[in-house]
Structure 1
Amino acid sequence: MFASSRKESFSLQAMQIADACLVWSAFALASVLRWNVFGTESDGGGLGPIVWLLYMVVPFSPLLLELFGFYRNAERKKLSSAVFQICQAGGVMGAAVGAMVIIFQVDPSSRLVLGLGSVFSVIFIFLRFYWVRAIVRRRIANGAGRERVILAGTPKDIDDFLKEMPEGVTDYWEVVGRFDLDSDDPMELKDMIEKQSAERVIISPKNTQFEKVSQAVEFCDAQGLEVWVAANFIRAQVSRPAFDTLGGKPMLVLRSTPELSWSLLLKSLFDRCAASLIILLTSPLWVIAALGIKLTSSGPIFFKQARAGKYGESFKMWKFRTMVVDAEDKLAEVKETVGNQMQGPVFKVDNDPRVFPFARFLRKWSIDELPQLLNVLSGDMSLVGPRPLPVYEVKEFEKAEYRRRLSVKPGITCTWQAGGRNSITSFEEWVEMDLKYIDNWSLWLDFKILIMTIPAVLFGRGAK
């Protein structure tokens, strides 16, 4: 991790380009060995027969490495961690390439190049990592390449700021001065900048008046010196600060949910494509469910209920009906006679007397949830996200922080369903798991939850 986001971004891109070149070189070397060592014959020669595969492997290999955290905090990373992350990325890429080889029946001699190239790629990337890490560590130890930085703020704010900074960041700093915004003369900052040839001023304004912060920023701005202002003066426990513009005016933005990005757009696209495919593949189950409900219980096949969507906006969620028609009217009676296994505003109970016999089969294998794929297609829900609660239960939330689970689109499955499904009895724990999902969201996490959901459904674990 480098001293500034621009340097970090440049370094990341440079390493990714280098690794992409190494992957291509690995396959080129494998091709040469195939001809000169193994003497394998082929009708194409060189990398020609598999060059279309390399167009996928070469650019996506660095992206997978980044996804598994390979490029983060590289100078402090253990060799074992680096090897594990390289193997993780290699495993995913290998599975994708293997599937392509089988589907498109790649020539056997080219498979040898793919196998050797994959092994060489792992070796080359690891050697590059080891070499770069050694150089970076040596430069840090010698004090070379450090940025001359002046820290401004109250003495306590500066000390607290330094304690909060990871060593992977401060390793690249040479703190050449500390300026007290409250008591020091502004001209002292000018003298300090000139004397130390400072490259950057970092201001920690946690307990400093904005007027003095503004004066320091204007003073540095006039000299063309880069100034960074920490956003720790806002005591947000969850939100991540970022800057944007509104009507041409700079704005400090605090976000506690995933920022609009290509990843979110890909999630939305994947949701709709996957939902369409699942509906097609499970269409026989829809017919079985519809016939079973119609033959065993009087009333409609589908059940729709007002659920709280993103930001609490109400939408109609669809399910196969698994309860008697007047189930909602009997809710209060059931709560009084049977009780509630869930602590909090949510109601859940084993052997709910309102569920008719055939519906227990639908619930056990989660067939009753299939119509929610229609909500995914309409954009009201996602495949993965916090489960949508009935509007009347959301109104009974006791803590304001519970509503943060409404800050993202609700989903058909989530962390607690994939892990233990309905075994959780504390709404507090349920919310905690949902918020952890929101705070750590990534496409990879969604795929992981979807994969974990499959055995939970197939084996009917925890369904009620």
Structure 2
Amino acid sequence: MLLSANILNVGWNGRYLTCLAIVLCLWQLALYLKGSRRTDTLGVGSEEYKRVLGASLFTAGFVSLSALAVGLELGQSLVLLGILPGTLVLLLSRWMMRRILHIRARQGATLHRVIVVGGAADISYLARQISAKSAGMYQIVGLIEDTNTPVEVGDIPVSNSLDDVEYMINLHGADSVMVAGALNSGTDAVKNLGWKLEKTKTELILASSLTNIAGPRIHMRPVEGLPLMHVEPPVFDGTRMWAKRILDVVLSVTALLILAPVFACIALAIRLDSSGPVVFAQRRVGKDGKEFTMLKFRTMVLDAEAQLKDLKDANEGAGPLFKLKNDPRVTRIGRVLRKLSLDELPQIVNVMRGDMSLVGPRPPLQTEVDCYESHTFRRLLTKPGLTGLWQVNGRSDLSWEESVRLDLYYVENWSVVGDLVIMWHTFKAMIRPQGAY
């Protein structure tokens, strides 16, 4: 009410309009400097949303502090009634534009038509990842395999000579050439390829071998004509980790208060469906290998653990994971809870306690950890999450290698804004579940 009265007292006078125009210009400048409109982020991944949200939050903070410093009463009004609602509208419009882009991509329209150059293994991996993840950003129209190794990726035409690059660009109307890994032609091959592409006005894209490192951690710094790639170390402590913990506490407490009726309804349904406790407690491995008791709504019969030995030969899980699409131990209400991921809700208590985080790697069993390879232990460098990249990318449908890759990518590149994006994708995954059983 006080805020509304403040707006009415100010009115749409020249002072208000002038401040509004300045804030809009500052907001647009922040969006531009953050690179929110760069074509390399449009339509794929969460980076586009991160940049929009980051620029908007920076603008809101800057306007609030500036208004406080000069004693301007309009600052609160501009942020609460302008920037914050405007940010939600902007994110929604980007999401709608992305849906349109994806529809157009399925109809054959893309941002870039690409020719991929490299060895057979690198080409196959890159083509597979682009087809699965890039949505409407890239369409591979040709391959150049420079080691004379047979390679077949769908019906995409293949050449075995870098000398054919100009011919293939003209033939397929490509606007980009992507180099996948090291070229057999030697260290000067990329430089010579770049010279060849000058006359065709074609963009050269280098696929980094640092597959687990996100863009914000990579910085280029030229020294005497030598481009040096600086890679920042991942963050496991400090201010950002405290910000993550504060977010966990605030959102978990809020969620417990809001979802209390839902908890009560689920508990009643479990009790009516089968005998036994409502909550299932299980020991899991957390940060730095420390065990904790993870809570879930019970979705199986009481003697589920005893029946496990008789079902191991039917295991459909990846790697050391045990999964069955039609597990006979799951109760009727349990199938519904698993399908909608509602069985995970008691883990909000684990988040509030500090055993887990809202977003992080999947919490493993000790038997799984015992099977880890050396690099897989990096999953334990951060707290396990109620949700994560594994949750929004297929869950049980993922291969073991892909599950590990996603968890390690999160551990190496997490951010608070990225966590918010994953939470949003988790909400969508609960509405349209995939790989949940």
Q: Which TM-score applies when normalising by structure 1?
A: 0.51
How do 1:41-60 residues align onto structure 2 when only pairs under 5 Å count?
Answer: 43=11, 45-47=13-15
Query: Which of 348, 356, 372 lines up with 2:347 in the alignment?
Result: 372
Picking from 242, 265, 270, the partner of 2:247 is: 270
> Is 1:173 matched up with 2:224?
yes
1:277-316 C-alpha deviation (Å, 9 max, x unpaired): 2222222220111101111211111111000000111000
Aligned to 1:334: 311
What is the distance in 2 between the residues matched to 1:359 and 1:56? 50
Does residue 420 of structure 2 align to residue 443 of structure 1?
A: no
Counterpart amino acid of residue 425 in structure 2: M
The answer to whether the 8 Å contact 1:307/1:315 transfers is yes
Task: Give the equivalent residue in structure 2 for 1:285.
Answer: 262
Q: Match of 1:342, SS? A: coil
Partner of 2:379: 405
Size of the aligned set, in residue pairs, is 280
* Counterpart secondary structure, 1:307: strand
Residue 293 (structure 2) aligns with:
316
Match of 1:456 in 2: 429
Structural RMSD (CA): 4.4
1:64 Cα deviation from its structure 2 partner: 6.6
Corresponding letter in the other structure for 1:421:
R
Q: Letter of the aligned partner of 2:296 in structure 1?
A: K
State the one-letter code of the partner of 1:407.
L
How far apart are the structure 2 equivalents of 1:289 and 1:406? Answer: 31
CA offset digits 1:60-91 (Å, max 9, x no partner): 8877767x467xxxxxxx98669999998567
1:200-223 Cα shifts (integer Å, max 9, x gaps)? xxxxxxxxxxxxxxxxxxxxxxxx
User: What letter is aligned with 1:401?
Assistant: H
Cα distance change of structure 1 residues 430 and 49 upon mapping to structure 2, 3 Å threshold = same
Name the counterpart of 2:338: 363
CA contact (8 A) 1:421 1:456 kept: no
Residue 433 to residue 55, structure 1, CA distance change in 2 (3 Å) = same
Matched, 1:392 2:361: no
Within-5 A mapping of 1:109-258: 168-170=220-222, 173=224, 257-258=234-235
* Distance in 1 separating the partners of 2:414 and 2:21: 30
CA deviation profile, 1:128-148 (whole Å, cap 9, x unmatched): xxxxxxxxxxxxxxxxxxxxx
- Structure 1 partner of 2:397: 423
Deviation, structure 1 residue 326 = 1.9
What do the CA deviations read for 1:98-130 (whole angstroms, capped 9, x no partner)?
xx9799667xxxx9xxx9xxxxxxxxxxxxxxx
* Equivalent residue, structure 1, for 2:70: none
Evaluate the alpha carbon distance shift between residue 69 and residue 439 of structure 1 in structure 2; reply closer, same or farther with a 3 A threshold. farther
Counterparts of 1:400 and 1:320, CA distance in 2: 33
Equivalent position of 1:353 in the other structure? 328
Is the Cα–Cα contact under 8 Å of residues 310 and 407 in structure 1 kept in the other structure?
A: yes
5+ residue gaps in structure 1?
1-40, 71-77, 116-158, 176-229, 233-238, 242-254
One-letter identity of the residue aligned with 1:414: G
